[in-house]
Amino acid sequence: MGTDTNTRKGRAGWHLTHDLDDFLARAGAFLRSRPAPHTVPLTVTETLRTRGRSVYGEGAPEFGVLERDGEVRAAFFRTPPHWLNLTAVTPEEADTLAARLAALGRRPPGVHADSGTAAAFAEAWQRHTGAPAALRQRQRLYRLGTLTAPGPVPPGRPRVAVASDRELLRRWHDEFSASVGLGTVRGSAEWADARIDSGTITFWETPDGTPVAMAGTSPRVAGQVRVTTVYTPPGLRGRGYAGAATTEVSRAARAAGAAEVLLFTDLSNPTSNGLYQRIGYHAVADFAVYDFTWVSPTGAVRAHGHSSSRDQPSPARSSSRR
């Protein structure tokens, strides 16, 4: 990808690149200026920077920056085979990007953005490519206010996952992904190893030391941390274990210096949305995921995105199973 030729004085244009350093040099300050709504590009680009460009899949990551007279107005990234992730844009700006990517022959499997932006891009993509767009999931981004432990707290204690937990983490990762109907691009063993190395998965365990739930966090970037991968095995749900684990990782993030602690939820799950509000989380903005469908000579083929082995908030990463 190269620079969009529409970038001229007084006119907004998209600069497209595969170069992460170039993208961050152009868009880094813009992304950090609003860390809550930009939590996903902040954490994903940090993971790409620290763990390598192929951490989310074998395809080369794609980036874009919308600029006018030297001012950044929006940005996007995509780590194939995942959805396009786009910051807030106007319908006109969404149309310009859709036209540009369609002309280059790009085929993202869908888009993840705030609700208005996602809908505008999905409509524009269908106009320019003929690929129908279907709403896959509505999400809500929450920010932690005053942390309040949900009562009563179940018996037990939190514990950070260590090397001896590798097999359990691998199994729970597979179960979690299967429960939301998506596979993973990166192996569960690799996911477990990365989480153990970074110390970013916490169990809630019973008094006898048995893990009964887990919750994770993303790297701290621009002062924000996002809670991810909250999971309780089916036979252990309804006992407050996930709430206790989520409360602990939220507390620990704050104690470690996070200015903002965030999380995404699936709006179709009233249980998790209610729990997070009781803990002290408040709504920031609504987001949406759309899938695009491609028509081939053999019939319609839905270009599904994949759940990520790291912290992109695809449906698999946004939903908690409790």
Residue given tokens 């939190």 in the structure block: 158
pLDDT in tens, 22-38: 999 999 999 999 999 99
Partners of 311 in beta bridges: none
What pTM value is reported for the model? 0.90
Binning pLDDT at 50, 70 and 90, where does residue 181 land?
Answer: low
Indicate the range of 58-62, 85-89, 193-197, 311-315 predicted with least confidence.
311-315
Measured between alpha carbons, how far is 172 from 195 in angstroms, rounded to an integer? 13
Could you tell me the pLDDT band of residue 178, with boundaries at 50, 70 and 90? Answer: confident
How many other CB atoms are there within 10 angstroms of residue 318's CB atom?
27
* Cβ-based neighbour number of residue 147 at 10 Å: 14
* Secondary structure element (H or E) that encloses residue 97, with its range: helix 91-103
Phi, psi dihedral angles at 91 (to 5 degrees): -55, -35
236 secondary structure, DSSP code: G
pLDDT per residue as tens digits for the range 234-278: 999 999 999 999 999 999 999 999 999 999 999 999 999 999 999
Interstrand relation of 133-144 and 299-302 (parallel, antiparallel or unpaired): unpaired
Query: So what's the pLDDT on residue 179?
Result: 78
Greater confidence, 56 or 9?
A: 56
User: Which helix (H) or strand (E) element contains residue 118?
Assistant: helix 115-129
SS3 of residue 149 by DSSP: coil
Q: Is 186 a residue whose pLDDT tops 70?
A: no
pLDDT over 50 at 61, yes or no: yes
Whether the pLDDT of residue 126 is over 80: the answer is yes
Please give the pLDDT value at position 43: 96
Beta strands in the chain (DSSP E): 13-17, 62-68, 71-78, 84-86, 110-114, 133-144, 157-160, 201-205, 211-217, 224-231, 260-266, 281-296, 299-302
The whole-angstrom separation of Cα 192 and Cα 282 is: 30
Check residue 310 and give its pLDDT. Answer: 43
User: How much of the chain, in percent, has pLDDT values that exceed 70?
Assistant: 86
* Res 182 pLDDT > 70: no
Report how far apart, in Å, the C-alpha atoms of 54 and of each of 69, 70, 105, 204, 272 are. 33, 30, 22, 32, 32
Q: Say which range, 71-80, 263-272, 292-301, 309-318, has the weakest mean pLDDT.
A: 309-318
- Can you tell me the mean pLDDT for 177-206? 84
What is the reported pLDDT for 17? 98
Q: Provide the pairing of β-strand 110-114 with 84-86.
A: parallel
Give the residue from 276, 279, 278 showing the smallest Cα distance to 266: 276
Helix axes 91-103, 115-129, angle to 10 degrees: 40
Q: Which of 95-104, 211-220, 267-276, 287-296 is the least confident region?
A: 287-296
Confidence of residue 309 (pLDDT cuts 50, 70, 90): very low
- Token pair of 143 as six digits: 């920010």
| Cis amide bond preceding 81, omega within 30 | yes
